[in-house]
């Protein structure tokens, strides 16, 4: 298996190089040159597998033989040993045909842990094999940063710099990034929003001199390995509801489009998925795009689901590549227009193919809060504001007797004020994080300016040549 860039002007790479590269050198995102496919019989035979065994079964074809089976199995088992739930990603029924897929039993209480714990170990393995070091640049609207810092803290081959929007993450999210005592992780509070942070990271990748000098790597979902790891829980949840003999639908709280793109990949691999429903908060660029066919940037508004306060949805580029028949010329045209005028219009055939797979809906902050209240009253289940955004949209898209699975992307205790305001209950942090809010914080405030960020990273990283 090789990985190709969505923009078609960077060399195709093997798995290990793709993991280290993050963003392709032409600014595109790597994607497998073909989707591994599993027959219905093969999928049926996956029923009952423990989560790590299922992950090994599903993900091995993506490695292209570059990591020995026994090594990969060890990496996977160690990654999921960090989770606090035996099932890793348990499925909880909240109504007759509605389910929450709880993805928040990892070390930082967010779905990001599922992929990040695996990615850190994969990256470590590849760097050790090559005797190399890397500098990791990560952008976060709140959850990726904490998950990345937990997964990479103390790893000798990597220095990590996490860019978060100053004052726009929840206090719990901020502490998860700023209280690590590991000397290889650095939290940078950027004076801007998440899109500014993400643009800075992409600009660092596109500055090839800097990129090469510090051996820059990525752990955002621009890194293929993040998406890859997230495919597994689509299979695990669908299998537990009778797949492949019973189709299911998923509603996914969406920002950067990574999580839902993993669902699309699962479908391409043979999993019978009826609908993939994109759920956004008031930052609804993706909903507008599906409605009108035009992807047009607006301003970012701060909401009670801050991790989804995103306009530039990185992984939508991967979907555009697929929907345009894997045509990098179209993708370059779309991305060029986005850069120049803040908008592009999707071609008719590509739009039809996107609409054939996806639905989309938004929830205002009021609607998300009402859903938290109603779900608690109806089933005793406490949602976080991101999952509540998904639940609101899922309720509008539930169809017939097809089970609807909402991805539970964060634990409510990460957003105690919003949850309390919605329903009067203050969710407590689990015992292992109980001292978090008292720990000393360490972070550097920087302007949203490429040179300032590169100078800072260049001074501190041990990977500089």
Ligand X SMILES: Cc1ncc(COP(=O)(O)O)c(C=O)c1O
Quick one: how far is CA 198 from the chain centroid?
A: 13
Confirm whether 202 is a catalytic residue.
Answer: no
User: How many other C-beta atoms can be found within 10 angstroms of the C-beta atom of residue 309?
Assistant: 24
220 makes contact, choosing from ligand X, ligand LJ64HWYM, none, with CB < 5 to 8 Å by partner type, with ligand LJ64HWYM
Q: Which of 312, 319, 396 is nearest to 358 (CA)?
A: 319
Omega cis (within 30) before 317 = no
Total residues interacting with ligand LJ64HWYM, rule: CB under 6 A: 13
Span interacting with ligand LJ64HWYM, options 255-263, 270-278, 387-395, 420-428, rule CB under 6 A:
255-263
- Report the residue from 16, 178, 220, 330 that binds ligand LJ64HWYM according to the rule CB under 6 A: 220
- Report the residue from 27, 106, 165, 255 that binds ligand LJ64HWYM according to the rule CB under 6 A: 255
Long-range contacts (CB closer than 8 Å, 24 or more residues apart) made by 345-350 = 345/293, 345/294, 345/295, 346/289, 346/293, 346/294, 346/295, 346/320, 348/293, 349/324, 349/325, 350/320, 350/323, 350/324, 350/325
**How far apart are CB 379 and ligand LJ64HWYM at their closest, in Å?**
26
**How far apart are CB 222 and ligand LJ64HWYM at their closest, in Å?**
6
- Contacting ligand X within 167-206 (CB under 6 A): none
**How far apart are CB 244 and ligand LJ64HWYM at their closest, in Å?**
28
330 makes contact, choosing from ligand LJ64HWYM, ligand X, none, with CB < 5 to 8 Å by partner type, with none
Residue 221 in contact with ligand X, rule: CB under 6 A:
yes
- Contacting ligand X within 111-150 (CB under 6 A): 143
253 makes contact, choosing from ligand X, ligand LJ64HWYM, none, with CB < 5 to 8 Å by partner type, with ligand X
Cα separation of 227 and 246, whole Å? 24
Residue 409 in contact with ligand X, rule: CB under 6 A:
yes
Q: Which of 225, 250, 322, 244 is nearest to 40 (CA)?
A: 244
**How far apart are CB 39 and ligand X at their closest, in Å?**
29
Place of tokens 């405030």: 445
Sheet holding 404-408, edge to edge: 91-95, 98-102, 404-408, 248-253, 273-280, 358-362
CB-nearer residue toward ligand X: 259 or 367: 259
Which burial class, exposed, middle or buried, applies to 341 when counting CB atoms under 10 A from its CB (0-12, 13-18, 19+)?
exposed
**CB-based contacts of 433: which residues, under 8 Å, 6+ apart?**
109, 413
Lookup: tokens for 199: 């643009």
Cα separation of 196 and 174, whole Å? 17
β 158-165/358-362 pair status: unpaired
User: For residue 438, what is the DSSP state?
Assistant: G
- Contacting ligand X within 245-264 (CB under 6 A): 253-259
CB-nearer residue toward ligand LJ64HWYM: 133 or 414: 414
140 makes contact, choosing from ligand LJ64HWYM, ligand X, none, with CB < 5 to 8 Å by partner type, with ligand LJ64HWYM
Q: Please answer whether residues 342 and 297 qualify as being in contact, where contact means their C-beta atoms are separated by less than 8 angstroms.
A: yes
Q: What is the dihedral of CA 432, 436, 440, 445, to 10 degrees?
A: 120
- Report the residue from 176, 221, 283, 311 that binds ligand LJ64HWYM according to the rule CB under 6 A: 221
**How far apart are CB 314 and ligand X at their closest, in Å?**
8
**How far apart are CB 230 and ligand LJ64HWYM at their closest, in Å?**
9
CA atoms within 13 A on the CB side of 433: 23
Residue 80 in contact with ligand X, rule: CB under 6 A:
no
289 makes contact, choosing from ligand X, ligand LJ64HWYM, none, with CB < 5 to 8 Å by partner type, with none
**How far apart are CB 250 and ligand X at their closest, in Å?**
12
What number of residues does the chain have?
465
- Contacting ligand LJ64HWYM within 295-334 (CB under 6 A): 307, 314
Rounded to a whole number, what is the largest CA-CA distance in the chain?
Answer: 59
Total residues interacting with ligand X, rule: CB under 6 A: 15
27 makes contact, choosing from ligand LJ64HWYM, ligand X, none, with CB < 5 to 8 Å by partner type, with none
- Contacting ligand LJ64HWYM within 116-175 (CB under 6 A): 140-145
- Report the residue from 202, 386, 392, 411 that binds ligand X according to the rule CB under 6 A: 386
- Active-site option among 112, 202, 267, 414: 112
Where along the sequence are the contacts to ligand LJ64HWYM (CB under 6 A)?
140-145, 220-221, 255-256, 258, 307, 314
Where along the sequence are the contacts to ligand X (CB under 6 A)?
110, 143, 221, 253-259, 307-308, 386, 409-410
Q: Give the residue numbers annotated as catalytic, written as ranges.
A: 112
């Amino acid at each position: 298996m090789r990985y190709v860039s969505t923009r078609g002007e960077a060399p195709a790479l093997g798995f290990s190089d793709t993991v280290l590269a993050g963003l392709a050198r032409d600014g595109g995102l790597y994607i497998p040159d073909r989707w591994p496919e599993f027959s219905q019989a093969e999928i049926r035979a996956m029923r009952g597998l423990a989560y790590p065994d299922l992950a090994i079964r599903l993900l091995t074809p993506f490695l292209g033989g570059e990591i020995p089976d026994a090594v990969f199995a060890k990496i996977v088992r160690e990654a999921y040993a960090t989770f606090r739930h035996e099932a890793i990603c348990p499925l909880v029924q909240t109504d007759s045909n509605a389910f929450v897929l709880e993805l928040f039993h990892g070390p930082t209480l967010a779905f990001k842990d599922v992929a990040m714990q695996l990615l850190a170990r994969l990256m470590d393995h590849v760097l050790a094999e090559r005797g190399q070091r890397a500098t990791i640049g990560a952008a976060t609207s709140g959850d990726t940063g904490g998950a990345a810092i937990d997964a990479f803290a103390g790893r000798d081959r990597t220095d990590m710099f996490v860019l978060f929007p100053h004052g726009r993450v929840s206090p719990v999210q901020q502490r998860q990034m700023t209280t690590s005592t590991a000397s290889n992780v650095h939290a940078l509070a950027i004076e801007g929003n998440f899109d500014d942070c993400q643009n800075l990271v992409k600009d660092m990748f596109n500055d090839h001199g800097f990129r090469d000098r510090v051996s820059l790597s990525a752990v955002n979902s621009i890194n293929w390995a993040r998406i890859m790891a997230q495919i597994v829980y689509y299979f695990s949840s669908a299998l537990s509801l009778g797949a492949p003999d019973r189709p299911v639908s998923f509603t996914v709280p969406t920002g950067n489009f990574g999580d839902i793109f993993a669902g699309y990949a699962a479908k391409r691999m043979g999993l019978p998925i009826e609908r993939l429903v994109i759920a956004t908060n008031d930052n609804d660029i993706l909903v507008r795009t599906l409605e009108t066919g035009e992807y047009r940037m607006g301003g970012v508004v701060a909401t009670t689901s801050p991790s989804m306060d995103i306009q530039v949805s990185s992984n939508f580029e991967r979907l555009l590549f697929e929907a345009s028949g894997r045509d990098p010329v179209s993708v370059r045209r779309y991305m060029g227009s986005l850069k120049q005028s803040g908008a592009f219009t999707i071609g008719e055939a590509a739009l039809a193919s996107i609409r054939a797979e996806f639905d989309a809906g938004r929830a205002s902050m009021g609607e998300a809060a009402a859903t938290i209240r109603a779900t608690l009253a109806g089933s005793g289940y406490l949602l976080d504001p991101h999952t509540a955004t998904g639940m609101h949209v899922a309720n509008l898209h539930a169809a017939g007797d097809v089970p609807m699975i909402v991805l539970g992307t964060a634990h409510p205790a990460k957003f105690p004020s919003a949850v309390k305001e919605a329903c009067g209950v203050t969710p407590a942090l689990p015992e292992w994080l109980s001292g978090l809010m008292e720990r000393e914080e360490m972070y550097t405030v920087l302007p949203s300016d490429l040179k300032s960020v590169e100078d800072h990273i260049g001074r501190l990283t041990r990977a500089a040549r």
